Structure 1
């Protein structure tokens, strides 16, 4: 469903070009969920938005290969791009209050999408929107269709955003941190809903999150991004139980867990991510890595394959595995 090879995204609007995505390669099969995890600024959302071509065209340079359902996304333009968005790939944004138009009711926005892509008349589109609201378990769906975004709670808006994303039966669902602004109980409800919908509809899904626990709930595979690159990729079990990149291990160790003694300080990753406008020639994580050597700083490490599904870009994978101290 998704085939990325050496995808690059560079923003040129500032004083210096910013390479936000540097050679990302990723495949997602039909019916599969892949989670992208990493710190803010690692390139997760930029990669997602590239799959919908949402970056400003004049200030963005894109290279490599990006194919979705057989379509060359980087070559789409005009009517073909408009037909692709929503019908082939759609997105659940992080903050639905900003993604939904505040001057139209939520129902009107879903009806517009259905009329544009499905060719339905207004009455049929309204009935379809009502069925979508019932599917995502919005109470009093008829009344909520007539509500404006600001009149709905955060969890309800996110469900409406999911309904809008699914309105035209897309083949690929892009979920950009859909639970970040929600409280813990609502987060769980949204995660369970996404997992159920993905399974029932057979969608391919890319799920962006900071929360490894959320990724474990919904994903089949995980890809860890740092400074615009995928530094480790594997199944959820492989990355949780046998991570091989120091950054993945540091992310796992930075999580609170039940085995921690009361009063124990939470481990942190020292330093800050690098400036994407001045990336170092070698491994971008070297300045924060306890295992870094001169070889790490001199050139980008090649991917080391551990299984057909598990690989990591690091020359110290054996030492990284030895320093692992993450409870199961």
Structure 2
């Protein structure tokens, strides 16, 4: 088991391959990720960068046709070696997930309270009445109004924000140690989004959760995360503390994400910056650095090989051939 000072999640050289025509597509390429109890790491990047694929690999939710390589250790367990029975005990009890669209995650033909009760009964062997009581306590905890009545709602009878709160309640039903949040605020309006982020931070403090939070919104990452890992084309291209990455973004892709945010200082009539080009086709990635074709700092060496991580400062590193010890002080955006 993990001690409070050690990592509860350790992924090393994680790869995920999917069948694609006559070949294969590598959606995740050598990802290293660690997470301590009570810590939040945000996986940040555009759609298709491998964030959700990484998250699902941590729960072994990919189909059997997918090939997961490397090593994943969660709470002392070798996740890739778990049997089907061990996986059923692992999911929900050790690691749980908040899915991006709770409208699709819930079964539409069963009441939400029954779905939560079934999860608790399966993992803890308690009665339906006891499991329903747990559901009521969780609904109260996530501030769903009229919680006893709402337990009998079907998913379609709840608003988007209320369904997301119910999804959080379901994810916490068996008191997991690690929470995987797959863009849980994407479909919500700004006010509800802030409420959900505040709720997650409050619940994290109360339950001591370790959270991996997937988002494409750097503003959300700043609000929720202790550390940020920026993903592009299946690789983590920059990682570090939230403050360090925001203060001194060192990979051109990270700087592009920061520059493309809508912000109050945008002058009237000024166009919002957009990173040129599109993410690469992972079935036929470009040689060398995958960001090279979109990068304004591209040099010939960028197409020769995949860059290694370079230390920017303690705990902060990035993959870029243009980085050097002499440049670190001039990379701040």
TM-score (norm 2): 0.95
- Preserved contact between residue 244 and residue 321 of structure 1 (Cα < 8 Å): no
- Preserved contact between residue 250 and residue 331 of structure 2 (Cα < 8 Å): no
Aligned to 1:95: 101
> What pairs with 1:165-314 in structure 2 (closer than 5 Å)?
165-314=171-320
Aligned to 1:34: 41
Aligned to 2:83: 77
Stretches of structure 1 that go unaligned for 5 or more consecutive residues are none
Aligned to 2:21: 14
Deviation at 1:76, TM superposition (A): 1.2
Q: Deviations over 1:109-131 (max 9, x none)?
A: 00000000011111111111100
Instruction: Provide runs of 4+ in structure 1 moved above 4 Å.
Output: 318-321
Query: Alpha carbons of 1:224 and 1:153: their partners in 2 closer, same or farther (altered >3 Å)?
Result: same
Deviation at 1:322, TM superposition (A): 3.8
Query: Alpha carbons of 1:3 and 1:323: their partners in 2 closer, same or farther (altered >3 Å)?
Result: closer
Residue number among 14, 18, 25 corresponding to 2:32 in the alignment: 25
Q: How many residues align?
A: 324
Please give the secondary structure, in 2, of the residue aligned with 1:174.
Answer: strand
Query: Alpha carbons of 1:320 and 1:148: their partners in 2 closer, same or farther (altered >3 Å)?
Result: farther
- Preserved contact between residue 249 and residue 331 of structure 2 (Cα < 8 Å): no
Separation in 2 of the partners of 1:160 and 1:51? Answer: 23
Deviation at 1:295, TM superposition (A): 0.9
Deviation at 1:281, TM superposition (A): 3.0
Separation in 2 of the partners of 1:264 and 1:95? Answer: 34
Q: Deviations over 1:206-239 (max 9, x none)?
A: 0001111111111100000000000000001011
- Preserved contact between residue 247 and residue 332 of structure 2 (Cα < 8 Å): no
Aligned to 1:134: 140
TM-score (norm 1): 0.96
Separation in 1 of the partners of 2:258 and 2:107? Answer: 38
